[in-house]
């Protein structure tokens, strides 16, 4: 009988320890990825019809992620896409060619490109390499 009580107590302690580790782990991840992330918007551009917005931004989450400049398109109807990411702090620029076409000028070399999409919902995305000022 005493052995059963000891096994039950050990099991209860183990379950409590696992629950505590899970809670502490979740809190740490929340802190690092949610409260520790600072987003800086460098440029905003509204489409000619005023229905969409694109922005060049930099999200800094400290040691948890690498430095990436990105372009996010809010394509309307709740659709938002990260259409472009480049490693580093390259001076990426954006311009709407018409209500559904976004031009991204990218001065970074190809090896720094991390992500590029040609569409976000109804928006066509065109990416043009441009020489950097250091070339």
Section 74-84 average pLDDT: 86
Question: What are the Cα distances from residue 11, in Å, to 7, 8, 18, 25, 39?
Answer: 6, 5, 11, 21, 44
Query: pLDDT category, 135, cuts 50, 70, 90?
Result: very low
Give the residue with greater pLDDT, 53 vs 15: 53
In degrees rounded to 5, what are phi and psi of residue 10? -60, -45
Query: pLDDT category, 66, cuts 50, 70, 90?
Result: low
In this prediction the pTM is 0.68
Degrees (nearest 5) of the Cα angle 129, 100, 69?
A: 40
Indicate if the pLDDT at residue 105 is higher than 70: yes
């Amino acid at each position: 009988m005493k052995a059963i009580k000891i096994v039950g107590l050990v099991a209860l302690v183990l379950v409590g320890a696992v629950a505590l580790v899970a809670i502490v782990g979740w809190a740490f991840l929340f802190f690092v990825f949610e409260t520790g992330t600072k987003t800086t918007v460098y440029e905003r551009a509204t489409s000619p019809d005023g229905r969409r917005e694109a922005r060049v931004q930099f999200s800094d989450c400290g040691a948890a992620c690498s430095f990436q400049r990105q372009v996010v398109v809010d394509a309307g109807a709740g659709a938002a896409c990260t259409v472009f990411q480049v490693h580093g702090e390259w001076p990426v620029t954006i311009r709407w060619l018409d209500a559904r076409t976004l031009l991204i000028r990218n001065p970074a070399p190809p090896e720094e490109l991390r992500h590029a999409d040609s569409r976000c919902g109804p928006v066509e995305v065109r990416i043009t390499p441009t020489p950097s000022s250091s070339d």
